[in-house]
Amino acid sequence: MLKLVVLVSGGGTNLQAIIDSIAGGTISNAEIKAVISNNPRAYALKRAENAGIEGICISPKTYGTREEFNRALLAAIQSYEPDLVVLAGCMVVIPEMMVKAFPNKIINIHPALIPSFCGTGYYGLHVHEKVLERGVKVTGATVHFVDEGTDTGPIILQKAVEVKPGDTPEILQRRVMEEAEWKIMPQAINLIANGLVKVEQGKVLIDGGNQ
Ligand code: GRF
């Protein structure tokens, strides 16, 4: 049974997709041990409570330095002894010491097709604003392992989404969530939970597929 700790910051729709996928059986062999938010007001914590999952808040505002926050966050995560740390709408910059503690055991969902529209400053709605500004016809979402960089780790799954005339950033964000994020995040967790994902020379190999 793959033990998950899910890190959140906001609405928690990706967390909800994971909760629903475990309940519905499209994710097998995995359980969420805890949900950790940096934001005490994150609705994601309410979603965890509703699902009977332990939810805690580790807020940077309650620590004197970023270093102290990073250490407290890592200690909290490690206390659950996870096999996989899932960043689901998590806005916290993951410190190097955490990446080193969980090599290729942290995954993130990015709301674009990496290496497009990613890196510092590309998060949440800003991503979709830049997509519309550039006028691309296709965007999407990416699930990737987290390494020391920003959105630079090995790519696990991607799913394309059409940009439509008249899209606003909000409309596009919703479509990317519905058609891509909420599908590939659970799918990636299920593949990992069932031993079908490995990383070789920085590339992800998925058993049974030609990825
Ligand atoms: C989503 O766009 C996700 O891609 C990004 O944060 C946004 C909110 O996610 N990482 P959620 O609803 O909190 O899961």
Q: CA 172, CA 165: separation in Å to the nearest integer?
A: 10
pTM score, whole prediction? 0.96
1-45 pLDDT, tens digit per residue, is 999 999 999 999 999 999 999 999 999 999 999 999 999 999 999
What pLDDT is stored for residue 208 in this prediction? 65
190-209 pLDDT, tens digit per residue, is 999 999 999 999 999 999 65
- Could you tell which of 181, 182, 189 is best to mutate to test the pocket of ligand 1, judged by most ligand atoms within 8 Å of the CB? 181
128-165 pLDDT, tens digit per residue, is 999 999 999 999 999 999 999 999 999 999 999 999 99
What pLDDT is stored for residue 43 in this prediction? 98
Cα separations in angstroms, 124 against 9, 68, 82, 117: 11, 26, 26, 11
126 is catalytic: no
Q: Whose CA is nearest to atom 2 of ligand 1?
A: 124
What spatial distance separates the first Cα and last Cα of the chain, rounded to whole Å? 25
Question: Over 90: is that where the pLDDT of 210 sits?
Answer: no
Q: Is 109 in the pocket of ligand 1 (CB under 6 A)?
A: yes
